[in-house]
Amino acid sequence: MSKTREEQKGNTKMTSSKQQHVSLLLLFLLCFLLLLPLSHAQREPNSTGYQCTENQNQTGNSCQTYVFYRAKSPDFLDLASIGDLFSVSRLMISNHSNISSPSAPLIQDQPLFVPISCSCNNINSTFGSISYAGLSYIIKPNDTFYLVSTNKFQNLTTYESVELVNPTLVATDLQIGTNAIFPVFCKCPNSTQLQNRQNYLISYVVQPSDNVSSIASTFGTDPQSIIDINGNNPELFDTIFVPVTQLPELSQPATAPSPSPTVSAPAESDDRKGTVIGLAIGLGIIGLLLILVIGVWIYREVLFKDKLWVMGDEERQRRQFYEGTEKKGMKEEGMKLMANVSDCLDKYRVFGIEELREATNGFHDSFLIQGSVYKGTIAGEVFAIKKMKWNAYEELKILQKVNHGNLVKLEGFCIDTEEANCYLIYEYVENGSLYSWLHEHKDEKLNWKTRLRIAIDVANGLQYIHEHTRPRVVHKDIKSSNILLDSNMRAKIANFGLAKSGCNAITMHIVGTQGYIPPEYLADGVVSTKMDVFSFGVVLLELISAREAIDEDGNLLWASATRVFEGNDEKEKARKLMEWIDRDILRETCSMESLMSVLNMALGCLHRDPSKRPSMVETVYTLSKSEEAGFESSDDGLGTPKLTAR
């Protein structure tokens, strides 16, 4: 450009034809200068996030996409902690990142593709919507929105955007333990892009060493397509979106036997790192062998002395656990559990049985919460402790893969070899089950806003297990007593004891809870995500009516609801709803549209034909809409019920 300017300076005296040329050139220059900010504006270099238009047609609004993330010391050098940060399982990261062993440690700056679910989220009517994947994050000591965005999320979001999506949190006064949403920037391809086979727009943060062509070659795409979407000069540490037809395969530094690291993608895997890792693995294998030998030796010692282990360090617990499975002669069950649990050892805390006994006064009845779940305090922290037999492995297997704010979190486990019990230790959820709030007499009643919030929380949790786990997980026992409420009355799904991963399986052995089981499951035992959708429909009916899923006479709530509301027009439905609804809701301000839309949602979920039931994605969308509809306009302070549909 400077060259053209010099040319112009030097040629002040010119022929008319030359002048024409120059004016053309000037015009070109002008256009160029005008276009520059334009192409920039197209990218919306907005620190609060990337605007999107929420169209009525939901399909283009949300998508499964990926972020490019780099493993970083000290906290993010293993897939477990990165998985926790992004609420995905380690397997989902390793599978997409060309890593064969999910439990292997990572090296500094190792490239990863982390799957996220991206959607267009409304902020408010004046601001509009921005496109992001909202990740739950629990505030830890010394966290600020800025530090978490720039360090942990590696600039995939900005503190401005975090402030925007967490309007209730005060950035300067963050309480440790509160849950914040971190909006990781993402975009879903529009119809033109899909036609051009740009199936994913991968979120990528520009690094100091990058330029557009280097990024393009990393992803195996062409620079122009990146410019089309992100403008000409993305700034350092901006999140840009790289369009690809399919996820490129990353080349990872060698970890397994083959010691030759390939370089085709962004990895900086030099031979030295490879050697160091190879060495580390070698040493690791030797170490494992040593432990095994020592283990066998100790096992013999124990067998002869028949001495109870005093719980000590984690290593000893592991050893004890391995031996225990052998000692009890439960080889098969034990082996299965071992295979699953050994994968969890690095992710979960291993508790000692003495610790649990002490916490629950020897599993005294007064510590019983429900079923075989006890409340226990260990080192000042309260936990829910579930006593199980060796069948814990199914639940462990599933819980290991899930991590979401609306699912009760597994904190650790314990194997008691003496009595052949296995214990799962969960976070303690303060306010008990939704069932007790709805059906057992409490002085405090849930208002409609809280109920709707609970419904959305449960729907989000289900959406997560249905859509974001591979293979999909079906809970199989959704009911109000398996929905727990925390201190902020936010809901968490508990009890994955019956859950199944893998879909469309057929079970001969019918499990579940009367009143929540869909008819097709009773008929032919088909397990699908639509089974949870049905049970969720029953929970919605409970929220609306405060009636039990099955009454003393054995009448099913879902059957009576479909009878009452079937085949009515909306007006008639609204009239019937007034008779059917929980009296406690009637006393408060909430909009009829909100109630009707939840009722219709519930009836949709209860459709006899599973394929006609909505997916949880649609359910979340509709419920969020009715939440907006119900409360944006109801803050008029009049307090008069708008429920006058008679």
Phi and psi at residue 478, in whole multiples of 5°?
-75, 125
CA–CA separation, 365 and 380 (whole Å): 21
Interface segment toward ligand NAG; rule CB under 6 A; list 190-198, 535-543, 584-592, 633-641: 190-198
Q: Which one among 12, 15, 16, 126 touches ligand NAG, defined by CB under 6 A?
A: 126
Q: Which one among 4, 11, 46, 73 touches ligand NAG, defined by CB under 6 A?
A: 46
Nearer to ligand NAG, 56 or 640 (CB): 56
Nearer to ligand NAG, 90 or 530 (CB): 90
Binding string, residues 54-93; x marks residues near ligand NAG by CB under 6 A: ---x-x-------------------------------xx-
445 is a contact residue toward ligand NAG (CB under 6 A):
no
Q: Is 234 exposed, middle or buried (0-12, 13-18, 19+ CB in 10 A)?
A: buried
Binding string, residues 467-496; x marks residues near ligand NAG by CB under 6 A: ---x--------------------------
Query: Whole-number minimum distance, CB 566 to ligand NAG, in Å?
Result: 25
Cα distances (angstroms) measured from residue 478 to each of 98, 314, 499, 549: 35, 35, 10, 12
- Interface residues for ligand NAG in 231-260 (CB under 6 A)? 237, 249, 251-252
Short-list 236, 239, 68, 47, CA closest to 146: 47
Q: Which one among 22, 123, 388, 420 touches ligand NAG, defined by CB under 6 A?
A: 123
Q: Which one among 4, 108, 264, 275 touches ligand NAG, defined by CB under 6 A?
A: 264
In contact, 341 and 413? CB cutoff 8 Å: yes
Query: Whole-number minimum distance, CB 3 to ligand NAG, in Å?
Result: 17
Q: Which one among 80, 107, 202, 229 touches ligand NAG, defined by CB under 6 A?
A: 229
Query: Whole-number minimum distance, CB 465 to ligand NAG, in Å?
Result: 13
Assigned token pair, 562: 């479909």
Query: Whole-number minimum distance, CB 24 to ligand NAG, in Å?
Result: 27
- Going through 310-428 in order, the beta strands assigned E by DSSP cover 349-350, 368-370, 373-378, 381-388, 410-416, 421-427
511 is a contact residue toward ligand NAG (CB under 6 A):
no
Nearer to ligand NAG, 91 or 298 (CB): 91
For residue 491, the SS3 value is strand
- Interface residues for ligand NAG in 129-148 (CB under 6 A)? 141-142
Rg of the chain's alpha carbons, rounded to an integer?
A: 29
In contact, 108 and 71? CB cutoff 8 Å: yes
Interface segment toward ligand NAG; rule CB under 6 A; list 211-219, 313-321, 375-383, 412-420: 211-219
Nearer to ligand NAG, 17 or 126 (CB): 126
124 is a contact residue toward ligand NAG (CB under 6 A):
yes
Cα distances (angstroms) measured from residue 312 to each of 99, 305, 315, 361: 34, 18, 8, 20
Q: Give the number of residues written for the chain.
A: 646
Cα distances (angstroms) measured from residue 382 to each of 51, 346, 424, 427: 42, 22, 14, 7
191 is a contact residue toward ligand NAG (CB under 6 A):
yes
48 is a contact residue toward ligand NAG (CB under 6 A):
yes
Q: How many CA atoms lie within 13 A of 196 on its CB side?
A: 14
Enclosing H/E stretch for 526:
strand 526-527
196 is a contact residue toward ligand NAG (CB under 6 A):
no
Query: Whole-number minimum distance, CB 299 to ligand NAG, in Å?
Result: 33
In contact, 183 and 130? CB cutoff 8 Å: yes
208 is a contact residue toward ligand NAG (CB under 6 A):
no
Contacting residues for 13 by C-beta, under 8 A, at least 6 apart: none
Nearer to ligand NAG, 580 or 631 (CB): 631
Query: Whole-number minimum distance, CB 583 to ligand NAG, in Å?
Result: 33
Q: Which one among 155, 199, 447, 507 touches ligand NAG, defined by CB under 6 A?
A: 155
Enclosing H/E stretch for 212:
helix 212-219
* Burial 157-183, CB ≥16 within 10 A → b, else e: bbbebbbbbbeebeeeebeeeeebbbb
Query: Whole-number minimum distance, CB 613 to ligand NAG, in Å?
Result: 18
Query: Whole-number minimum distance, CB 402 to ligand NAG, in Å?
Result: 12
228 is a contact residue toward ligand NAG (CB under 6 A):
yes
Cα distances (angstroms) measured from residue 603 to each of 94, 463, 514, 587, 614: 40, 18, 18, 24, 10
Short-list 296, 407, 412, CA closest to 355: 412
In contact, 273 and 257? CB cutoff 8 Å: no
Residue type, 125: S
Query: Whole-number minimum distance, CB 126 to ligand NAG, in Å?
Result: 4
Question: Quick check: bond before 248 cis, omega within 30?
Answer: no
Interface segment toward ligand NAG; rule CB under 6 A; list 188-196, 546-554, 620-628, 636-644: 188-196
- Interface residues for ligand NAG in 453-472 (CB under 6 A)? 470
Query: Whole-number minimum distance, CB 218 to ligand NAG, in Å?
Result: 10
Closest residue to ligand NAG using C-beta atoms? 251
Residue type, 385: I
Nearer to ligand NAG, 273 or 328 (CB): 273
214 is a contact residue toward ligand NAG (CB under 6 A):
yes
Catalytic residues: 477
What residue ranges bind ligand NAG (CB under 6 A)? 45-46, 48, 57, 59, 91-92, 95, 98, 123-124, 126-127, 141-142, 150, 154-155, 164, 190-193, 209, 211, 213-214, 228-229, 237, 249, 251-252, 262, 264, 470
